[in-house]
Copies of this chain bind each other. A is one copy, B any other.
Amino acid sequence: MTRQRPPSSIAVARLAGVSQSAVSRTFTPGGIVSPATRARVLAAAEALGYRPNLLSRSLTTGRSGIVAVAVGGLSNPFHAMALESFASGLQRMGRQVMLVVVADEWALGSAVELLSGYQVDAVLSSLSVNAADVADALTRFAVPIVTMNSSVTTRFVRTVAADDHGAGIAVAKHLHAQGARRFGYIAGRAGTLAQERREAGFRQGLAELGITQCARAQGDHHHGGGCAAVRAMYGAARKTGSATGLDGLFCLNDLTAMGAIDTLRDAFGLRCPEDVLVAGYDNVAASAWPPYRLTTVDVGLDRIAEQAFALMEAAEGEPSEVLVTPQLVLRASTRR
């Protein structure tokens, strides 16, 4: 029941009346063959529909040309964008992309275990690695793993991080400059480091402005989480009769911010930016749409991808961490 095997270099050689090595050489970049032989081989290959078996090739060369990309759920357009950046960049470099959808950094471990069986040359992950034992486990596979925003790195586990902390500070100052005075942060799942850094930066920025109060609620990285968080934050305030609610909201990401804006309007009659300033993070396509015009932070995925490519090809000695500076994108959601 084994599928019909495609023609091999031997078949081509036989048809062209040359040796198998001649066939191999005509298809190996830099291989030395006379023009006459090359022509005969190519003709025979064409006739048989021959294509070199790349798996076999990588068996001898030791490099598969395959790079694995691990992402954490494509329903979040940010991950989709990250994947697209990685994939199109790698394709341009002539490498193949093996995709793995992964739940968390532990799942990343077992995914890499499997992938290492496919001899992938490197792994790019939009998830971060923050547990030391995970990093250790990953290091054993001896394949370069480039992650985003990891707090732990090793010889093989490298990371390209956006300056989330700095971006958080910038957002705080911007919201304050636009007139916000009572602040809140909508967080993501505990343990997702990038957004924890955003919060820390945000709070530090506020502190530098002499503000120590900052409300907090937890979302889920999606639109619905923003809705629920706003309900929790503002619903409580309403019950206690506190008239003036929060007027400056920073959300761990754009989806959350859009949920927040929608719920502020529909459930509390609060308009953005008139009543509350809202900022997000990621610069997802929808954040520019009219109902939101969301001020947000753009991490520059193409630059990140570039750095990731450099890191995955870096030698073991070189530094395994790169920091990129994200860009504040100002829109109407924070404009008074």
Which residues does A use to contact B, with CB under 8 Å? 2-6, 49, 51-56, 58-59, 61-64, 66, 69, 73-75, 77, 80-81, 83-84, 87-88, 91, 96-101, 113-114, 116-119, 140-142, 222-223, 258-259, 262-263, 265-266, 285-286, 289-291
- Across the interface, A80 reaches (CB within 8 A) one of B3, B74, B114, B119, namely B74
Measured CB to CB, the nearest residue on chain B to A102 is B91
Given contacts A69-B99, A117-B54, A290-B262, contact A84 B91 (CB under 8 A): no
Given contacts A2-B63, A3-B63, A4-B142, contact A97 B100 (CB under 8 A): yes
CA distance A35 to B49 in the complex (A): 46
Task: Report whether A262 and B291 are in contact in the complex, using a CB–CB cutoff of 8 Å.
Answer: yes
How many copies of this chain does one complex carry?
A: 2
CA distance A91 to B74 in the complex (A): 15
Task: Report whether B113 and A51 are in contact in the complex, using a CB–CB cutoff of 8 Å.
Answer: yes
> What are 21 of the A-B contact pairs (CB < 8 Å)?
A2-B61, A2-B62, A6-B142, A51-B117, A52-B117, A53-B59, A53-B117, A55-B59, A66-B98, A66-B118, A69-B99, A75-B84, A83-B99, A84-B101, A87-B101, A88-B101, A98-B99, A99-B99, A223-B289, A258-B289, A291-B291
Task: Report whether A119 and B53 are in contact in the complex, using a CB–CB cutoff of 8 Å.
Answer: yes
CA distance A142 to B100 in the complex (A): 26
Residue of A63, A262, A289 contacting most chain B CB atoms (<10 Å) = A289
A312 → B minimal CB distance (Å):
12
CA distance A73 to B285 in the complex (A): 13
CA distance A62 to B53 in the complex (A): 11
Specify which chain B residues have a CB less than 8 angstroms from the CB of A222 in the assembled complex. 285
A246 → B minimal CB distance (Å):
20
Specify which chain B residues have a CB less than 8 angstroms from the CB of A101 in the assembled complex. 84, 87-88, 91
Measured CB to CB, the nearest residue on chain B to A114 is B96
Specify which chain B residues have a CB less than 8 angstroms from the CB of A56 in the assembled complex. 55, 59
Specify which chain B residues have a CB less than 8 angstroms from the CB of A58 in the assembled complex. 55
A259 → B minimal CB distance (Å):
8
Task: Report whether B290 and A265 are in contact in the complex, using a CB–CB cutoff of 8 Å.
Answer: yes
Specify which chain B residues have a CB less than 8 angstroms from the CB of A55 in the assembled complex. 55-56, 58-59, 64, 118-119
CA distance A56 to B91 in the complex (A): 24
A209 → B minimal CB distance (Å):
32
Known contacts A3-B63, A91-B100, A223-B289; 7 further A-B pairs (Cβ under 8 A): A2-B61, A4-B142, A55-B119, A74-B83, A87-B99, A98-B99, A286-B286
